[in-house]
Structure 1
């Protein structure tokens, strides 16, 4: 028999009480016991603890899971409690023939943890022993256990209620072959939101187009328009619909979109209320609400340093890559990323570069973390001296750390007016960083903005311009011009309808015309300070005045 087949047959599964969990378990066993979480999913309580023991009693992994039963089992039990009541406190061998049971883990990260702890072969064996649906579908599809489970009420109403679990059921099979084999991806093609804003006369239908696998980066859609046209409200409707998996937000196939996680970024803590509260227990999607802007110590929200600290404590990976490495790689947009450091409390080593926090033995790593003064912002160190980072740079680093920590395979990211804290020169860097994060995680993003600098960073298929007509109806249009790398003035002309001079420019024109100076005098005196376009319009105005 092949070694792989031997591994698959080593594990045995047991049902047991929570009181027995402290007892030593035999090697190569999977122990399924009731969970302390008694949350009721439409009459079902499928949540359990799944403890996997490897080749010795020290190789243990304790996980949350879900347990269900097919109809018509010989044991005639439909709950774990019934099985344990009959066993009178003894562990019960869990068999497909007698119990017709199946399990699933709650999200992609749980499957990564199993593979990381035991390796692909033992992970496969353990999950097959537990009749895990992802493993059965991926490794033993001919048994069709997953097909039978899909027809049960507990699967439809409870297992698939949360998008994290549904996404894992669809995508985690690749993880079982090894972490580096994880397939990433989420929304492809159009994502369409349908809604109607209060005070508007028409229904809205806005399509966001994504082509994440394209050679040209098309992972970010941008909404732009004048104040009051509904950009931010559109984002809010997308967030509400995604959290409910509502039919008002559909993919290219017309069905509600599937995202594993939703991250919503507001410009300030005061504007967080635009997005739904994350405390709502009815959300069907893992959800985080965050701010883009740098936060000063003592203000509401977390600082860039605290965001870095939180990320450093995470050992999770995506496609075999640590989230810390994703964060560091994203900072390549800084030409001097190596100089960005954290401030310490030590008199010996005053600064620790972000890069040095990754490549260090565990003891040294912990000592360095303990030495950092987390109350102080990161700094730029040149020749041993510290220089403050700009607000835009701190916002940038904070966003990179938070997004790297929280983004998941197949996430949807929403941004409301991120330009609030970014200099126009930083917008290009921000978009480069964002595209890198999306590419690494198979995710997509929608940005609502006033800034045409965001528009020039995406292709016209990814741009939605919102306008209102004379009836008050809101119209969604695509630019006719090529936007990627386009001229900011030309984009502004199309988006905001700036087909004439600004009001201040018009006032200056009137003042110069009424000054009584000749054209040659004005050109000689102000020609170096006024644009050729303004001078041309001024001369035309003066010539028209002479002819009248």
Structure 2
């Protein structure tokens, strides 16, 4: 694996990230040894970028730069002749294409630089996942129903039903290579039912202090590989695997065992700066501006003052961060991280985005995430307890998890969720019935011992219309009971 940085004539730095180089005759366990310096790779070498962003960045740099670079690197996606010559090599499949993201990079490289037609419909992705034993198969169907926001699927259910575990295990399976999926120790994470989805990357987002998302490089993955990759990227991304964890845990590998601790706010700010610089070196400033618009337009952001331009100096952003709440910092970090890390056809798994956030900011965050998913033809699954989140997602994209003993069931909501009243969603989707509401018991007890006027006075004359109706109903019932007793 090699890391590539291009310096363009105008002085800009272009970070292409990872490329793999294959040498004729190297077999399945050998290592390519290209010259330390070269104008063009020798004829017994070829290369392949390991992420779709590799080819997107080259396209953004211009056709002259891209064509010349790919010719010198003997890129197999840009040259069918080179591709055909090296495809019989054992290392072609085991090295160049070890991780699923490399397949998507190859497909995009061919589309952009060899003129082949796209092999997948934009905006559409369907796959089925079988969690570990005693569970329903979960089908995820993202449809192209623009302008409806169908790139997001919501997973809801009671605490303890297994929403976070479903997302965490799905992340492991989606980021694994074919060999890892076939090993017995990997069975605990479940498996795809049928063909595995064609994904460019996997991103897990969780800002819970109690999340226990497993991360590639730990457990079923080799710690030695994780140590190598995480040393290169301290923000949590395992480069070859195209897996990124965005959250509160600081992830590292100590003595070949997984070790984690929680990040401080200064760590989150540093994550933001690293991601903003990465977005810049991928020539993504334009996309970042578009993705940031919904959250910068949100009223609570407006109250803290004008935000710096995307390409402003770090000092300007540091000054802005001093005015932001912890929730604002988290939202800004999520959005910028996604813009920097998204590849074409990324699967983003988001655990309870409403945590730490006021409802309007939750809605703005979802809008920003949706904009990013659309820009990069990607898809997201969000586990949530929030009717505000569900209100932003069509009912066909909402999965209700219910546990019957040890068996996990998946059901569809009985009503359309998109744009529905939050109170109705709370009742119908999240199953909050009258018996669960403590305020009703308090009001009924007051109605038994106080007059309506006295109860009104307790609330300063501002009792809700629903509260007043409950009191009157209770008093009528008590009167009828008294009449019956008489």
Sort the TM-score into its range (normalised by shorter chain).
0.7 to 0.9
Indicate the RMSD between aligned Cα atoms, in angstroms: 4.5
| Aligned twin of 2:256 | none
> Match of 1:419, SS?
coil
Q: Secondary structure at the match of 1:265?
A: strand
Q: Summarize the alignment of residues 380-529 of structure 1 with structure 2, pairs less than 5 Å apart.
A: 388-469=323-404, 471-508=405-442, 510-512=444-446, 514-515=448-449, 529=463
Per-residue CA distance 1:242-278 (angstroms, 9 max, x = gap)? 1115495548xx311232222212223x334323255
Any residues of structure 2 matched to 1:311-390 within 5 Å, and which?
311-314=275-278, 315-317=280-282, 322=286, 324-334=288-298, 353-355=307-309, 358=311, 368-369=313-314, 371-372=315-316, 374=318, 378=321, 388-390=323-325
Q: Is the 8 A contact 1:187 1:259 kept in 2?
A: no
Give the distance between the partners of 2:445 and 2:398, measured in 1 at CA.
39
The superposition leaves residues 188-229 of structure 1 with CA deviations (integer Å, 9 ceiling, x where unpaired) of 2433221136xxxx2232222212563211111111111111
**In the alignment, what sits opposite 1:191?**
127
Of 109, 118, 124, which residue of structure 2 is paired with 1:172? 109
2-structure distance, mates of 1:134, 1:428? 40
Aligned CA distance change for structure 1 residues 525 and 68 (closer, same or farther; 3 Å):
closer
Cα distance in 1 for partners of 2:454, 2:7 equals 90
Higher normalized contact order (CA 8 Å, seq sep 6+, divided by chain length): 2
1: distance between equivalents of 2:39 and 2:324?
61
Q: 1:538 matched to which residue of 2?
A: 474
Distance across 2 between alignment mates of 1:105 and 1:451: 40
CA–CA separation in structure 2 for the residues paired with 1:489 and 1:399: 28
CA gap of 1:467–1:225, structure 2 versus 1, over 3 A, is: same
Could you say which residue in structure 2 is the equivalent of 1:154?
Answer: 91
| 2:205 aligned partner | 265
Aligned-partner SS, 2:137? strand
Show the counterpart of 2:162: 230
How high is the TM-score relative to the length of structure 1?
A: 0.66
- Aligned-pair distance for 1:64? 5.6
Cα offset, 1:481, TM superposition: 0.6
1:309 aligns with 2:265: no
Query: How far 1:401 moved relative to its partner?
Result: 2.3
Alpha-carbon distance between aligned partners in 1 of 2:454 and 2:4, rounded to the nearest angstrom: 86
Question: Does residue 110 in structure 1 map to residue 54 in structure 2?
Answer: yes
The CA deviation at 1:289 is 1.4
Deviations 1:357-404 (A, max 9, x none): 63xxxxxx6xx44x5584x5525xxxxxxxx43433332222222222
Tell me: CA distance 1:276–1:520, structure 2 relative to 1, closer, same or farther (3 Å): same
Local SS of the residue matching 1:222: strand
The 8 Å contact of residues 416 and 449 in structure 1, kept in 2 or not, is answered as: yes
Cα distance in 2 for partners of 1:60, 1:429 equals: 31
**Gapped runs of 5+ residues in structure 1?**
1-46, 72-77, 138-142, 342-351, 359-364, 380-387
Q: Which residue of 2 aligns with 1:300?
A: 264
Q: 2:243: which partner in 1?
A: 287
- Going from structure 1 to structure 2, the CA distance change for 1:501 and 1:258 (only over 3 Å counts) comes to same
Shift of 1:467: 1.7
State the SS of the aligned residue for 1:529. coil
- Is the 8 Å Cα contact of residues 338 and 354 (structure 1) preserved in structure 2? no
Cα offset, 1:161, TM superposition: 0.7
- State TM-score, norm by structure 2: 0.73
Unaligned 5+ runs, structure 2: 183-189, 227-237, 250-261
Q: CA deviation at 1:49?
A: 8.3
Residue 120 (structure 1) aligned to one of 51, 63, 82: 63
2:229 corresponds to: none
Closer/same/farther in 2, CA of residues 257 and 264 from structure 1, 3 Å limit: same
Alpha-carbon spacing, 1:160–1:331, altered in 2? closer, same or farther (3 Å): same
Q: Distance in 2 between matches of 1:107 and 1:521?
A: 68
Deviation (angstroms), 1:147: 4.8
What secondary structure is seen at the aligned counterpart in 1 of 2:366?
Answer: helix
Alignment of 1:199-210 (within 5 A): 202-210=134-142
Equivalent pairs counted in the alignment come to: 435
Q: Distance between the aligned counterparts of 1:451 and 1:90, measured in 2? A: 55
